[in-house]
Amino acid sequence: MGKKITVDSATLFNKGLEVIEAHYLYGAEYDDIEILIHPQSIIHSMVETQDSSVLAQLGWPDMRLPILYTMSWPERIYCSEITWPRLDLCKLGSLTFKAPDNVKYPSMNLAYAAGRAGGTMTGVLSAANEKAVEMFIDEKISYLEIFKAVELTCDAHRSELVEHPSLEEIIHFDLWARDYTAGLKLSSGLSPALV
């Protein structure tokens, strides 16, 4: 999917952003959304129902399948074994899960906090992350500074947070977050100073 998604997977910002998506798409409260690390990348989502049973969506870790379904919805397109290998769970072996390390990967806590703050904060988080990842790819900041840049940008936005933003306000704060993040000068000690 490209460099941006690769970096988001490494920082686990992708998981934090998916928490915010799940909140808005399904109306789930943040306390009811849990992140699990699944190294095999076969189970893409799980939903626990009221009776405690869990429904899971399994598939190869390949974006072609969701894209195919998006293009064919509500139908499903038949894929032969030649064009798309079947998921053989016996050959795959075990499916494992572990809790995320929120100390090593503060991105998830940042995303939960932005989601709970609501309003323009989620857009600011996303825009700051996009800019910080771009700066990392361009070798302007270190890997660990991605987390710090996003945190500092979100902290700076708290005083201007708009709880029920218009489209114009969303666009304004998206651009503001990118500019603010780009203007941060982070030293090796991760202490911020505006350029």
What percentage of residues in the chain have a pLDDT greater than 70? 95
CB-CB neighbours of 14 under 10 Å:
19
pLDDT digits (tens, 9 = 90+) for 103-134: 999 999 999 999 999 999 999 999 999 999 99
pLDDT tens for each residue of 79-93: 888 878 888 888 888
Closest CA relative to residue 160, chosen from 112, 116, 105, 120: 120
H or E element: which one contains 184? strand 184-186
Is residue 152 within 8 A of residue 192, CB to CB? The reply is yes
* pLDDT at residue 194 tops 80: no
CA-CA-CA-CA torsion for 103, 146, 111, 106, nearest 10 degrees? Answer: 0
Yes or no: say if 128 and 153 are a contact pair by the CB < 8 Å rule.
yes
Rounded to whole angstroms, the Cα distance separating 155 from 151 reads 6
Which tens digits make up the pLDDT trace of 4-50? 989 999 999 999 999 999 999 999 999 999 999 999 999 988 888 99
Q: How do 43-48 and 192-194 pair as beta strands? A: unpaired
Instruction: Tell me the one-letter amino acid at 28.
Output: A
* Mean of all residue pLDDT scores within the chain: 91
Greater confidence (103 vs 65) lies with: 103
List, as one string, the DSSP characters of 73-101. Answer: TTS-----TTTS----HHHH-----B---
